[in-house]
Structure 1
Amino acid sequence: MFEKARDLFERIAQWSDKHSPQTLFARALIIIVVPMLLLQALSAWWFYSQRGDNVTNRLAILLVRDLRLLISLRSDFPDDEHRNWILRRSAQDLLLFVSFRKGIVRPFKEPEYFDIVAREVQGAMDADLKRPFFLDNNIG
């Protein structure tokens, strides 16, 4: 058993001697540059993932605020003339295509696992609106 382990160690040592840099400059370059590159890649990944989460969360909250405004406008002005104006303005200015239907909420499938934006919006709507809704985020 010790023979096999020593043999394996010898092969690994020979391979690393053959493939490792021979000059002091190359070794120093690897010792200094590789950790710096790894640290830079890790910090860039962490920064952009945090930034993306913050932006997604803020956009979801702002969307829910817009929807809450439309709901309050609809409840304050229930007649058809104002309803049409609210729907037209939300489509033109906010690019939100909404419809108000009394007592009808269509069932919808849960957002996919990697659809982070849909999950954030659904969570914000559940927490803030506290009323049934249907969310269709398929554009096209």
Structure 2
Amino acid sequence: MSQLEIVNSALAELKKYPVKHDFETRPAIPGPFTNTVKLELPKATFRYVERKTSKQGSDSTGVTIRRIATSDVQNVDISSHSTVYQLKEQLSNSFHIPLANVKLLVEGKLLADTSVLDDVLVNTEVNDIQLVLVQ
């Protein structure tokens, strides 16, 4: 497959799974069992994240990451209730990304990297969370 065909294939896949690059506030999805977490990576990478909880009372949430235009899939469980720092650290370790490059948006608001906000609990089952990776 030529590079042009690979790029065209990736673009076709991107149209199926649009990723928002503006950080507008969206209402939380009601109910503890449905939510979407988007992981935005540098433009050349094309990944998205979707997560679903499977049973009530679970203390973790399954996350599936697919690399668009390839068959790469990665799964990771994240705690349903974490501090901001714990969630960032777990995602950093899971995806082998520097911790400084992981930013969290909760309900459309960027959480700062301060010790005060690092103690804030994030309910990953209820809150609308975007995980943003920056270079």
User: Which band: TM-score by shorter chain?
Assistant: under 0.3
Q: TM-score normalised to the size of structure 2?
A: 0.26
More helix by share: 1
Q: TM-score normalised to the size of structure 1?
A: 0.25
**Looking at both structures, which has the greater relative contact order when contacts are Cα pairs under 8 Å and sequence separation is at least 6?**
2
More strand by share: 2
